[in-house]
Amino acid sequence: MSSPRSLKDFIAHLPKAELHVHHVGSASPRIVSELAERHPGTVPSDEDALRTFFEFRDFAHFIEVYLAVVDLVRTPEDIRYLTYEIGREMATQQGLRYAELTCTPYTSVLPHDEGRGMSIQAYTEAIEDARVAAERDFGLVLRWIYDVPGESGVPAADATVDFALNHRPEGLVAFGLGGPEIGVPRQQFQPHFDAARAAGLHSVPHAGETTGPETIWHALRLLGAERIGHGTSAAQDPELLAHLAETGVPLEVCPSSNIATRAVATLEEHPIRAFRDAGVTITVNSDDPPMFGTTLNREYEIAAELLGLDEAGVAELARTGVRASFADEAVKTRILGEIDEYVGRPESG
């Protein structure tokens, strides 16, 4: 007779969707090592040295390290390799069936140094080729969120909305806003989000990760947010929690990320329980998993511990991720069916 499966094993094989995970930030040490060998410079190519390189002091240092990795992605071949290999690892190591990858084309298409960068046409062709191949080879459905790097201001937003509207890849479903929040008011991006939403794209800005609840209110009221990236500080505002619960706007919760960037001091203090208790829709995500020394499976384990979930509760968390996605209804139905089928298997299955 086989021994009962652990919750960790249940999570490892549970079909899942992920909604808050960054394109370049998903590059594992294996992938970064390959890119660093292609483009020698400030990023070490040794995988052990990379793990030390990814140890962050604070959010500002994280941005600095993140941009150093961004600088390794210089050609369409790099983009294609990165995207396809991320898809491979998501499908084969994390049980993912669907993912919305947050891409920041501005940092690849508009280079800071002479001789760097590529055309938006080449960028689009590379991610789309990898998307089609990942679904064919791994059964993983990939969709894109085009993300404005907030630290680059309105010029980056102008370029990103142009990329989204005038060079739209088939897999593009949403328009986002990332990067630092402090000193980057959400109001300046309202025209860009208005244009993206008018073109049928969903609104998914980061908000309330390193600033207070007012940033989340701005994301909702000015940017028409349909999901909130992080939303950590929402727990400070009972009125905001009630609003999120009433409207059903989900929070994309990334526990290990919040600890690594010092947005939250300890896991015990993480507000995910307050979100749950207030009736807010929660999805669990990994953000930039290799950079934070985590995986989506590990984030599910953390959420299960913090929320006191059993297998049924974890499965419902996975269903929530699927329902909160911007996947086609047929894709949602298929993955929800796979979750139900998996949950219904005997433990020895």
Percent of the residues in the chain that have a pLDDT greater than 70, as a whole number: 96
Q: What is the spatial distance between Cα 208 and Cα 210, in angstroms, rounded to a whole number?
A: 6
56: which 2 tokens? Answer: 């962050």
**Known active-site residue 246:** no
Cβ(210)–Cβ(263) below 8 Å: yes
Q: What is the spatial distance between Cα 141 and Cα 330, in angstroms, rounded to a whole number?
A: 12
Task: Catalytic residue, from 18, 209, 252, 299: name it.
Answer: 209
Percent of the residues in the chain that have a pLDDT greater than 90, as a whole number: 78
In degrees, to the nearest 5, what angle opens at C-alpha 100 toward C-alphas 98 and 104? 150
Confidence of residue 1 (pLDDT cuts 50, 70, 90): very low
The 10 Å CB-count burial string (b at 16+, else e) for 111-140 is eeeeeebbebebbbbbbbebbebbbeebeb
Q: Which CATH code for domain 7-343?
A: 3.20.20.140
Q: What is the spatial distance between Cα 316 and Cα 330, in angstroms, rounded to a whole number?
A: 19
What residues form DSSP beta bridges with 230? 207
Give 64's contacts (C-beta < 8 A, 6+ positions apart).
none
Give the per-residue pLDDT at 116.
66
pLDDT tens by residue, 100-139: 999 999 988 976 554 567 899 999 999 999 999 999 999 9
Q: Which of 32-46, 150-164, 209-223, 239-253 has the lowest mean pLDDT?
A: 32-46
Give the per-residue pLDDT at 113.
54
Q: What is the spatial distance between Cα 175 and Cα 153, in angstroms, rounded to a whole number?
A: 15
327: which 2 tokens? Answer: 């996947």
